[in-house]
């Protein structure tokens, strides 16, 4: 395990490998170990061997159940007794409601009042109690804080939380356990919970793996943050990848600065075409956010030094892609 | 292995368990061992524990590659030297073209001239040589016979062939290996290659498993054949399940008469609704034929004695469903 050689300083985090192993043991009985699928026709298109970690086939439809389950089952009985609260318009909301139901505690979910009806129904189907707020970041956090004060519920932040990051890290851990010789892993990036967890989960098993974040051009805050070396906010975004409209947090940014190989930007057209290609060739329904992690590999030029160019006369690169979810 | 107690008479076939094991060894390096997926929400809807064998994620997009690969790699070098020929408008055509390319021999595919362009492109992408014919059964078989005579190619029949049936049997074999305590397995039925193979693959490992065939109401020849005890032809059909428009053959009918628990009929409306449900809940693209195998479990009454009613006060039934393909 490579991370034994690395200090928290090197890793950009105090999260130990042991915390990721414990998270994995904690959530293993409750979640799917999702399959790693391959596609010969996509290998040909990418000029590389691709390995798809299918979190779109995960419980509650995305990787978010990993972090939510780890966080909620990490609480002591006393801490859990007043329930949990979070703010999210998407997959994290459903995941917290689902994991809270497994633990038998209430979950208050703050959602913007323009959240899609299908996302609200998912939360309600798991017994989550929705409170609507104005569609602004400040309204979300204020409403969640008010519910915390009123109920004593614990906040389960979508990504700025070590228990969440350790939980999300288990997806990459499983991927590298299944395909040990990976050269690189690509995941989408929004708040950075999955991407920073992927850095930790992959590098904990194999330090040489190059981890890339993939992001819509229309929501390029991670790209700007990494490039400038300072946390850059995302004001708002109309990207079709509705799961990728959040900004990095201090905790995730610190990990990414230390461990990331790069951020790759993707156009809206590429996102839509990649979703269609995956339905046609892989028979999988993936959400736009997931398509973002594959699209850069399908360009004529590929990713410099990784696929396509690397191919000439050398063995193909082995590249993992995390399909983050399937909730369209 | 139960089938050691059973004579060919009992099984309705001379195919030995050993032939299925050999088929599995032969095709294993070339095909996917497809995942068996589960869905809590579909379990609740069905009142049973469901296990989905995902042949929609198989190479060339369906289980057909199992039989085609077994048949083509069973040929001696001498037999294979003049290539293979088949007639099919769908998944078997692509599978034969694909397996022939792996073996490095030519594949002549006879297709009706009204075959969908997407199916033709799939065949061509694997290097298959298409000959179009009139859209009638007689024209197909005559054209294939002519090509056989001209080229010396071997005929790979879509289902009336022991090597094909033994190959298709490996899907159920893998399913029962992964989930040994199954009570029942449901598959779609058309020519009966998958269904008769499922009988052999399942009963070879566990004689108690009840195997059901599922069929569109608009293509109910298997239902009529089993009910009457004589092979009933299907004149033509407009079912949306385009993979299920063939009739049973003597070889598959003989196996089904001995081993089948029953044939379940499904409406066109149920097929469409089930495809949508699987995309939404399981994030999988399945073809209409695959939806036919799940639909009967989702009815209010379920299948008498299997799901729903069985549930009251008893443990849930464990039911396998073979998603036959994903080529929409």
Coil, strand or helix: which one is A103?
A: helix
pLDDT, tens digit (0-9, with 9 covering 90-100), for A166-206: 999 999 999 999 999 999 999 999 999 999 999 999 999 99
The reply to whether A256 and A137 lie within a common domain is no
Tokens 């690189």 found at: A184
Residue A277's closest chain B neighbor by CA?
A: B285
Specify if B328 maps to a domain.
no
Q: Which of A102, A135, A155 is the last residue of a domain?
A: A155
On the question of pLDDT at A2 being above 60, the answer is no
- What is the distance between the alpha carbons of residues B164 and B156, in angstroms, rounded to a whole number? 8
Q: Which of A155, A187, A211 is the last residue of a domain?
A: A155
**A35 has a chain B CB within 8 A of its CB:** yes
Coil, strand or helix: which one is B50?
A: strand
Buried b vs exposed e over B84-121: b needs ≥16 C-beta within 10 Å?
bbbbbbbbbbbbbbbbbbbbebbbbbbbbeebeeebbe
**B18 has a chain A CB within 8 A of its CB:** no
Chain B residues inside the 8 Å CB shell of A324: none
pLDDT, tens digit (0-9, with 9 covering 90-100), for B77-107: 999 999 999 998 789 999 999 999 999 999 9
Specify if A314 maps to a domain.
yes
Our CA-based measurement puts residue A95 at a distance from the nearest CA of chain B, in whole angstroms, of: 14
Task: Note the pLDDT of residue A304.
Answer: 81
The encoded tokens of residue A61 equal: 């439809």
**A326 has a chain B CB within 8 A of its CB:** yes
Q: Do B283 and A40 make contact, defined as CB atoms within 8 angstroms? A: no
Our CA-based measurement puts residue B94 at a distance from the nearest CA of chain A, in whole angstroms, of: 13
Exposure of B211 in the CB half-sphere (CA atoms within 13 A): 30
Our CA-based measurement puts residue B152 at a distance from the nearest CA of chain A, in whole angstroms, of: 31
- What is the distance between the alpha carbons of residues A271 and A319, in angstroms, rounded to a whole number? 19
Chain B, window 82-101: residues with a beta carbon less than 8 angstroms from a chain A beta carbon: none
Task: Note the pLDDT of residue B255.
Answer: 97
Our CA-based measurement puts residue A328 at a distance from the nearest CA of chain B, in whole angstroms, of: 8
The reply to whether B239 and B151 lie within a common domain is no
Nearest beta carbon to residue A283 from set B40, B125, B285: B285
Nearest beta carbon to residue A283 from set B38, B40, B57: B57
The closest of A60, A71, A254 to A155, measured between CA atoms, is: A71
Q: Do A283 and B283 make contact, defined as CB atoms within 8 angstroms? A: no
Tokens 């309600």 found at: A124
Specify if A145 maps to a domain.
yes
pLDDT, tens digit (0-9, with 9 covering 90-100), for A274-299: 999 999 999 999 999 999 999 999 99
The reply to whether A68 and A170 lie within a common domain is no
Q: Do B284 and A282 make contact, defined as CB atoms within 8 angstroms? A: no
The reply to whether B181 and B222 lie within a common domain is yes
Specify if B80 maps to a domain.
yes
Q: What is the pLDDT along chain B (328 residues), one digit of tens a residue?
A: 444 556 777 788 889 999 999 999 999 999 999 999 999 999 999 999 999 999 999 999 999 999 999 999 999 999 999 999 999 878 999 999 999 999 999 999 999 888 888 889 999 999 999 999 998 888 999 999 999 999 999 999 999 999 999 999 999 999 999 999 999 999 999 999 999 999 999 999 999 999 999 999 999 999 999 999 999 988 888 899 988 888 999 999 999 999 999 999 999 999 999 999 999 999 999 999 999 999 999 998 788 878 864 555 667 899 999 999 999 8
- Indicate the number of domains in chain B: 2
Q: Do B283 and A56 make contact, defined as CB atoms within 8 angstroms? A: yes
What is the 8-class DSSP label of residue A3? G
Task: Note the pLDDT of residue A1.
Answer: 46
**B57 has a chain A CB within 8 A of its CB:** yes
Chain A, window 242-301: residues with a beta carbon less than 8 angstroms from a chain B beta carbon: 279, 282-286
The encoded tokens of residue B128 equal: 């298959």
DSSP string, B152-169: -PEE--SSSSHHHHHHHH
Residue A233: exposure state from Cβ atoms within 10 A (0-12, 13-18, ≥19): exposed
| pTM, rounded to two decimals | 0.90
- What is the distance between the alpha carbons of residues A150 and A145, in angstroms, rounded to a whole number? 9
Tell me the sheet residues that pair with B184. B210, B319
The reply to whether B116 and B45 lie within a common domain is no
What is the 8-class DSSP label of residue B328? -
Mutate to test the interface with B, among A283, A285, A325 (most CBs of B within 10 A): A283
Give the pLDDT band of residue A305 (cuts 50, 70, 90).
confident
Buried b vs exposed e over A72-98: b needs ≥16 C-beta within 10 Å?
bbbbeeeebebbbbbbbbbbbbbbbbb
- Residue A58 sits in a domain whose CATH number is 3.40.50.1100
**A200 has a chain B CB within 8 A of its CB:** no
Mutate to test the interface with A, among B116, B277, B283, B286 (most CBs of A within 10 A): B283
The reply to whether A280 and A192 lie within a common domain is yes
In terms of residue numbers, what domain contains A103? Answer: 64-155
Nearest beta carbon to residue A283 from set B38, B61, B125: B61
Task: Note the pLDDT of residue B6.
Answer: 67
Specify if B151 maps to a domain.
yes
Pairing of strands A129-133, A107-112: parallel
Task: Note the pLDDT of residue A285.
Answer: 97
The reply to whether B169 and B311 lie within a common domain is yes
The reply to whether B200 and B97 lie within a common domain is no
Nearest beta carbon to residue A326 from set B125, B283, B286: B283
Exposure of B128 in the CB half-sphere (CA atoms within 13 A): 32
Task: Note the pLDDT of residue B311.
Answer: 52
Put residue B132 in one of left, alpha, beta given phi > 0 → left and psi -120 to 50 → alpha: beta
Task: Note the pLDDT of residue B1.
Answer: 46
- What is the distance between the alpha carbons of residues B143 and B235, in angstroms, rounded to a whole number? 20
Specify if A58 maps to a domain.
yes
Our CA-based measurement puts residue A68 at a distance from the nearest CA of chain B, in whole angstroms, of: 18
pLDDT, tens digit (0-9, with 9 covering 90-100), for A96-151: 999 999 999 999 999 988 888 888 999 999 999 999 999 888 899 999 999 999 99
Sheet of A84-87, strand order: A129-133, A107-112, A84-87, A154-155
- What is the distance between the alpha carbons of residues A253 and A256, in angstroms, rounded to a whole number? 5
Our CA-based measurement puts residue B123 at a distance from the nearest CA of chain A, in whole angstroms, of: 14
Q: Do B283 and A279 make contact, defined as CB atoms within 8 angstroms? A: no
pLDDT, tens digit (0-9, with 9 covering 90-100), for A80-104: 999 999 998 789 999 999 999 999 9
Q: What is the rounded average pLDDT for all residues in chain B?
A: 93
Largest CA distance in chain B: 65
Our CA-based measurement puts residue B127 at a distance from the nearest CA of chain A, in whole angstroms, of: 14
Task: Note the pLDDT of residue B278.
Answer: 97
Task: Note the pLDDT of residue A8.
Answer: 76
Q: What is the rounded average pLDDT for all residues in chain A?
A: 93
The closest of A200, A209, A210 to A264, measured between CA atoms, is: A210
The encoded tokens of residue A272 equal: 């839509």
Q: Which of A111, A126, A155 is the last residue of a domain?
A: A155
The reply to whether A45 and A68 lie within a common domain is no
pLDDT, tens digit (0-9, with 9 covering 90-100), for A248-269: 999 999 999 999 999 999 999 9
**A233 has a chain B CB within 8 A of its CB:** no
Chain B residues inside the 8 Å CB shell of A286: 283
Specify if B34 maps to a domain.
yes
**A40 has a chain B CB within 8 A of its CB:** yes
The reply to whether A167 and A260 lie within a common domain is yes
Task: Note the pLDDT of residue A204.
Answer: 96
Task: Note the pLDDT of residue B132.
Answer: 95
* Choice between A214 and A328, residue whose per-residue pLDDT is larger: A214
Nearest beta carbon to residue A35 from set B35, B61, B125: B35
**Interface contacts A/B by beta carbons within 8 Å:** 35
pLDDT, tens digit (0-9, with 9 covering 90-100), for A25-52: 999 999 999 999 999 999 999 999 999 9
> What is the C-alpha end-to-end distance of chain B, expressed in Å?
37
What ranges make up the beta strands (E) of chain B?
A: 36-37, 49-54, 84-87, 107-112, 129-133, 154-155, 184-188, 210-216, 262-266, 318-323
The reply to whether B182 and B73 lie within a common domain is no
The reply to whether B74 and B58 lie within a common domain is no
The closest of A6, A154, A157, A170 to A83, measured between CA atoms, is: A154
Specify if A328 maps to a domain.
no
Nearest beta carbon to residue A285 from set B40, B59, B284: B284
Task: Note the pLDDT of residue A314.
Answer: 66
């Amino acid at each position: 395990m490579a991370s034994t050689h690395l200090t928290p300083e090197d890793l950009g985090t105090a999260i130990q490998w042991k915390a990721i192993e414990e998270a994995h043991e904690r959530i293993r009985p409750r979640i799917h170990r999702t399959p790693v699928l391959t596609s010969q026709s996509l290998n040909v298109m990418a000029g590389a061997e691709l390995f798809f970690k299918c979190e779109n086939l995960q419980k509650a439809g995305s990787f978010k159940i990993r972090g939510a389950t780890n966080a909620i089952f990490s609480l002591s009985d006393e801490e859990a007794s007043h329930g949990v609260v979070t703010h999210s318009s998407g997959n994290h909301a459903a995941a917290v409601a689902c994991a809270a139901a497994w633990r038998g505690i209430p979950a208050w979910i703050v959602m913007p009042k323009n959240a899609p009806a299908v996302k609200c129904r998912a939360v309600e189907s798991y017994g989550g109690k929705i409170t609507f707020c104005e569609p602004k970041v400040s309204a979300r956090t204020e409403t969640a804080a008010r519910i915390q004060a009123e109920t004593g519920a614990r906040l389960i932040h979508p990504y700025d939380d070590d228990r969440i990051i350790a939980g999300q890290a288990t997806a990459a851990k499983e991927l590298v356990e299944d395909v040990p010789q990976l050269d690189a892993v690509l995941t989408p990036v929004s708040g950075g919970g999955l991407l920073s967890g992927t850095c930790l989960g992959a590098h904990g098993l194999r330090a040489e793996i190059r981890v890339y974040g993939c992001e819509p051009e229309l929501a390029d805050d991670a790209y700007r943050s990494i490039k400038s070396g300072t946390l850059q906010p995302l004001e708002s975004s109309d990207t079709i990848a509705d799961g990728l409209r959040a900004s990095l947090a201090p905790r995730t940014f610190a990990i990414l600065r230390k461990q990331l190989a790069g951020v790759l930007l993707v156009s809206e057209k590429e996102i839509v075409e990649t979703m269609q290609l995956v339905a046609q060739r892989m028979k999988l329904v993936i959400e736009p956010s997931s398509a973002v992690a594959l699209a850069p590999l399908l360009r004529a030029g590929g990713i410099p030094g990784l696929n396509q160019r690397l191919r000439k006369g050398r063995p193909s690169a082995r590249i993992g892609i995390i399909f983050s979810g399937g909730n369209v």
